Structure 1
């Protein structure tokens, strides 16, 4: 018997139950020697029912079980353990063999024995020292069989089972290159129009450094028919189960909402995605309430902090309001936080910075009274607080006075979006004009402001939100910004840090919704000078399908071309491993126990001292 299938979960599926009240689900038990516990529940018009649990034992009296690591580094020595079990009533003599493989190198062992007597209820473990020579998934195959021999085992002749004389197990082992993973991606939004004489083209150059680890380079190209497609293809990363402190929790909570909003508005939301996102939002909501303070504010660690944080409280207020269409949000929490924000204002109407953030990078470029007030005002306007509300009106008045003297590009972008929401058209146009002047080149040449990359993405996203939220959506200029933003995305649909990912996804979702079309037919061709040719076809039937092809030539030069009508999102990802960088930092670690030797009698207390210097 050859066993290869070892899942942790066997059956998880829906079964329709007819009027008879009975249903049968057929399947073959996996190869795992174990006991499977099964349960079922049923929902119907008359209520909800749960069945009592039952179990199935998958067993054979003579078998081998492998113990091996999940992954190893190429060239690393590791030990493979094979334990053979005999649950027969008589003794057997077994021979256990590791089948040869070109991907595995067996280290010689002069004293190792791979045959043994096993009497009833006994087991024996055999060992091999191996090295993996090839990267990727390598199959490890071990066979054990009962020998037909006249040699005595425990003063009796060993038997040979009539059934199950041998057992063979095949398990995969992941072999990794080691070192440090480097990942580079190039993204493009290619838009075509029917009847164009020339296709949209782009040249891609895949280059690797000289010190890469052998055979670690790999690359692939993906094509999607939707701007938000990469984010949707990585829901397990973007719709991650919220966790951590009050700041981390919200940074993971917010992107869920933007993806749901986009899918809902474009009628692409499936029951599976909706159910998954709802579970994550509910979990994040309940967890965030544990970081709420008695005064209505939020902080990294709730009541254990000295005071709540203004920025985080506004972020929570905004996110909870936006989540209301999808999950239940208690109105009292929203009004409580809004009351707190009313209290932390200066006499000029702007908001006062209170509390501290555990990770200041999460709030992006907000670092003074004006940028903080713009963010809080923006958050309140986004969730529907009227511009005539005294709190918002006073804050907008304060921001108007400060706007003309603001020199920070980030604050100008944030103010441009805030004044867009407050219908201050004159100030909005003035700030957008200033931002246009400070851009490095035109939008067509990829707008570039003098900030760190994450701040670049964030402030550019605020400009995009301002353009899309105005009385007349400037889709021409917005499309040029989106083309630049799309090139900054990582392979998972995010960006370089936390807050820029939150703001950029919000802006991209707004643009994707404004430009969504249920028509389009584009053909993308990827070619290289060495003869590689791969074609992808995208239309409305497969716009959310991730199409992927490996790129064989590394280093290499590739050409992308798109023809047809519509837009496609094309991404090229290059991964390779390099040796870890050398560190000149030195330190020593000393571990001492008291007592230094184990006494004969069992110890109730052992003192362990670890000293690092």
Structure 2
């Protein structure tokens, strides 16, 4: 055993120079000691020797080197001691010791003592910072908690899962047996929730003779434990081997877990508060360490630190929320991850969810359309076009993505609407059309019916995939079946109260009869109703009954409404003639009377819509009057404008095209088809269901009957930054094809060159985010008022009333079915109880509501209104709850438009700013994380060699700047 001698003294030896002075008291010495304490190495010291050295003790051992001796000058003279003391004092000046000596006027002896003590103290201060900036034990070394890196975060939160088929093995040796089994381990998902499991078993032999029972033993594994459940199956004998299991509920929970609350989306630059809800099901209170994990491009307290840590206390069997402030700095999808561990326990949890961040402003799709026809528009058989987006920079939200899509389509367009309608996806620019009342349900049937009829007549299923035809037919069958009577239910539309709606149903069912099995009575009973209840002795069709969704029947109620109504019903009867001639004996006579009325009425009509519709009805009887029809055509003779807007113009032109095709006037029809190519909306469609149906019906009739001239067209597209153009050829075999290119920019010149014979359509669609703006001119059809009224302003939750007033500006009529698209502020949710009260009961003020995440990238509330009054404002009021605190809250938009005439009126709202003007927490167009630009202390131990190497480092991503004094 080694022996050692330890001696200690209560003072640092440097202070002995003061003890020789009689007028220095003991307390004064300690005052001076504390004043000049350099505060080096707090805590236990960097090593064993430092414990003694920092305490001012001398350590000697026969086996260890001991603490170093301190060399101290002994100044005998009072002046020298005072000068030395002055040199030891630190000052705010940036002067060196040598510079400070220049100010001494008490002689060289004083200057020497001052410089010596100044340099000595300077070296001691430097030495105290050499090895480590922080040697004391930190929270990182707290062994009371599980290491954050060992906590696995939950990431999978599906709404449904485990869609699985299991085939049980046959009995061994094909002998009858009571049981057979198959083991399959199923890991549970990460959700803390209640899952409901259901099962159906099918057997070729079981249950043939009598009722019996089966049981499914379900083994579920989670990260916590193994669960074994039994699902009993009831097998009634009449189902012959089909057994249905009772639903089984499985509760998944942990004794301690986190629920992370995120909004559906956030806007870039918004400062918002997200909450981690801690749930403690333990019978004991707990101290919990909570970590917010750093994520790139999300500014938070964890930025540049790796994690932000805080410690909270939570009671037994209780919950507690821990808020975090974050600012997403870029658009995209980012991880928000929180981990928590209970002190002196193995309980822990982690959760990670994705925050969707969208740019400020509104996504705009701006189309430009150019028709290529080098034979007629070119020079020497060559047509050259320079296309540019031409979007003003002041309209763009800074630092947001932009792109341009350029598509070239042959002379016959198969739009995105066709493929979407076939697949049942969102209908592009058309609004989402939900099932519900009978009229709404017809939308589900009409759109795939349009697409399937068009593709059948033009033999173009190859463009969308032959397998899509079965999908389209299934959508048509589903819509048809929803209209049929079932038991005591009379069906959604087959109650035949109103002539307009009945004629529409008969027309759609007659078209569907060419594709799916439609029962003849369902068409012919509708025709009987029209003849017996709506037709007058003089052949006219009349009705005063309302149609909520007026967009389904077009401008039948406009000027010359009696002629339009008669033509509308007559067309439905004509298109049903081959189906119902045998069962409806009065059909030929009814048609003749209607034709006679329209023939008398046609010369006096003034509404282009009524003229076009009547002309088509007359053309079906070989009695079209071309002179009267073209009296209302445009000067270019390619469309029939109506005073009520583009959607009605499209319908009128479609009826006119049908009349021309029926009359075999293909030369006259050709420019009309070309005009339609220029009117299509981005994503397909023509603005409403009725307009789209009529346009596609007319175009499909044209292409199935017309004989086009020779077609061989070469198109070159030179994109900016490309050396060679993209070359396409269109001919008779691919005249319906579309070729697409894309550039990630706007306002760039695109050069298009066409040679050869034939036509094509070039569509340039610019996508960009625009700053929200509203002008009086934007609200041409509606007056819209939006107010956000505070109701309850608690610290934890704020409740507002969102009050919307809307008035239709027309002097003569109410607006038909209209849509309110209400954008929600980040962190706000709607009170569905209020909306249920508005949409249910006998005095409901709204037809339907739904939360939409397809039409809007931020998510919005869609409210359907059966009508909007033109005499007094309609009021919609409901509560919204602010679930999260958001600092720089961006405004949200409310828009209203009539479904049939989609001219939007937009207003913005915000809790604090009228009109929802944008505010920015930025300088010019640049926004940076406030945390990121501050240098953060490195907590690892770094040697002098590493510091030297880092000081000399200079790369593109790492460059060291130097200052005169740190």
Shorter-chain TM band: 0.7 to 0.9
The 1-side partners of 2:311 and 2:451 are apart by 59
Q: Residue 605 of structure 1 corresponds to which residue in structure 2? A: none
1:348 aligns with 2:538: yes
Q: Residue 355 of structure 2 corresponds to which residue in structure 1? A: 172
Shift of 1:394: 0.9
Q: Residue 390 of structure 1 corresponds to which residue in structure 2? A: 589
Q: Residue 377 of structure 1 corresponds to which residue in structure 2? A: 570
Q: 1:171 to 1:24 in 2, by over 3 A?
A: farther
SS at match of 1:270: helix
Q: Residue 766 of structure 2 corresponds to which residue in structure 1? A: 574
Q: 1:357 to 1:241 in 2, by over 3 A?
A: closer
Shift of 1:537: 7.3
For structure 2, the residue ranges without an aligned partner over 5 or more in a row are 1-151, 172-179, 206-239, 777-782, 793-874, 878-966
Which one has more relative contact order, counting CA pairs under 8 Å at least 6 apart?
1
How do 1:111-510 residues align onto structure 2 when only pairs under 5 Å count? 114-116=310-312, 123-135=319-331, 137-146=332-341, 158-160=344-346, 167-178=350-361, 182-187=364-369, 203-209=386-392, 210-215=394-399, 218-221=402-405, 223=407, 227-235=413-421, 236-238=425-427, 242-243=434-435, 247-250=439-442, 253-265=445-457, 266=459, 268=466, 269-283=468-482, 289-291=491-493, 293=495, 296-297=496-497, 308=498, 310-325=499-514, 329=518, 331-343=520-532, 344-358=534-548, 360=550, 362-366=552-556, 367=558, 368-384=561-577, 389-424=588-623, 427-434=624-631, 438-441=633-636, 443=638, 447=639, 449=641, 451=643, 452-470=645-663, 472=664, 474=666, 477-510=668-701
Shift of 1:278: 2.9
Shift of 1:118: 6.4
Q: Residue 79 of structure 1 corresponds to which residue in structure 2? A: 273
Q: 1:580 to 1:379 in 2, by over 3 A?
A: same
Q: 1:168 to 1:312 in 2, by over 3 A?
A: closer
Shift of 1:36: 4.6
The 1-side partners of 2:169 and 2:764 are apart by 49
Q: Residue 150 of structure 1 corresponds to which residue in structure 2? A: none
Shift of 1:494: 1.5
Verify the 8 A CA contact 1:62 1:167 in the aligned structure 2.
no
* Cα deviation 1:278-315 (Å, max 9, x = unaligned): 3244335679943554xx33xxxxxxxxxx3x322211
Shift of 1:377: 1.0
Shift of 1:390: 0.2
Shift of 1:318: 1.2
The 2-side partners of 1:484 and 1:16 are apart by 58
Shift of 1:121: 6.3
SS at match of 2:577: coil
The worse-fitting range, judged by mean Cα deviation, of 369-378 and 73-82 is 73-82
Q: Residue 101 of structure 1 corresponds to which residue in structure 2? A: 296
Q: Residue 31 of structure 2 corresponds to which residue in structure 1? A: none
Shift of 1:80: 0.8
Shift of 1:208: 2.7
Shift of 1:514: 5.2
Normalising by structure 1, what TM-score?
0.72
* Cα deviation 1:480-517 (Å, max 9, x = unaligned): 32222122121232123443223123223434555799
Shift of 1:63: 4.7
Verify the 8 A CA contact 2:642 2:648 in the aligned structure 1.
no
The 1-side partners of 2:787 and 2:184 are apart by 60
Q: 1:132 to 1:566 in 2, by over 3 A?
A: farther
The 2-side partners of 1:419 and 1:174 are apart by 56
Q: 1:441 to 1:548 in 2, by over 3 A?
A: closer
The 2-side partners of 1:263 and 1:200 are apart by 31
How many correspondences in the alignment?
555
The worse-fitting range, judged by mean Cα deviation, of 341-350 and 241-250 is 241-250
* Cα deviation 1:116-150 (Å, max 9, x = unaligned): 35688665432112333333x23132131538xxx
For structure 1, the residue ranges without an aligned partner over 5 or more in a row are 148-152, 298-307, 594-609
Q: 1:11 to 1:568 in 2, by over 3 A?
A: farther
Shift of 1:276: 3.7
The 2-side partners of 1:41 and 1:49 are apart by 7
Q: 1:489 to 1:586 in 2, by over 3 A?
A: closer
Shift of 1:206: 1.3
SS at match of 1:79: strand
Shift of 1:50: 5.5
The 2-side partners of 1:25 and 1:383 are apart by 57
Verify the 8 A CA contact 2:405 2:766 in the aligned structure 1.
no
* Cα deviation 1:9-68 (Å, max 9, x = unaligned): 335578999999999999976544445544455789997845535677777766543211
The 1-side partners of 2:694 and 2:160 are apart by 38
Shift of 1:389: 0.2
Verify the 8 A CA contact 2:448 2:475 in the aligned structure 1.
no
Normalising by structure 2, what TM-score?
0.48
* Cα deviation 1:231-260 (Å, max 9, x = unaligned): 133332349655455555445542332222
Q: 1:441 to 1:495 in 2, by over 3 A?
A: same
The 1-side partners of 2:707 and 2:338 are apart by 57
The 1-side partners of 2:668 and 2:300 are apart by 59
Verify the 8 A CA contact 1:192 1:562 in the aligned structure 2.
yes
The 2-side partners of 1:611 and 1:381 are apart by 44
The alignment's C-alpha RMSD in Å is 5.1
